[in-house]
Amino acid sequence: MNRKDFFKVTALAVAGIAIGPALLESCAKTSTTPQGPSVNFTLDLSKSANAALNNIGGYVYSNGVIITRVSTASLGFVALSQTCTHQGCTVAYSYQTLAFVCPCHGGTYDASGNVTGGPPPSPLKSYGITRSGNILTIKG
């Protein structure tokens, strides 16, 4: 190897060492920590705005959260972040598939917010729900 080739190889090696970690970092997986707003609010099931929650499969959006009636049990409700973790579209609930579905790219989530299909990189944030009479309290 002559001197000119040595300097070319050395320059390429130094550039590779400097740029390599940045390229590898960009290929790293996205965090799987669920993201969503911190909330603490109530919904009155007797109000017309929340009437959908009186039927299995019904859902409403409130404070960045989708609240869904999944069964007739007293605590048969699920509350998840309404924002798909792929590109921020608003998810909806499909009673036919028992899944939360993103209409933009077909991402799907189960009732715990876990990704079950499509491109979403992480689960939806799940919120705690308590019920006292007709009042649901959503926290998390």
Residue 4: the pLDDT is 57
Residue 75: the pLDDT is 87
Q: Are 39 and 63 in contact (CB under 8 A)?
A: yes
Enumerate the β-bridge partners of residue 103: none
pLDDT along the chain (140 residues), means of 10: 57 52 41 79 97 96 97 91 95 95 95 95 96 96
Residue 80: the pLDDT is 97
- What CATH number matches the domain at 40-139, 2.60.120.260, 3.40.50.720, 2.102.10.10, 3.40.190.10? 2.102.10.10
pTM value is 0.76
Check residue 8 and give left, alpha or beta (phi > 0: left; psi -120 to 50: alpha).
alpha
Computed from CA positions of residues 83, 87, 91, 96, in that sequence, does the dihedral angle turn out positive or negative?
negative
Residue 10: the pLDDT is 56
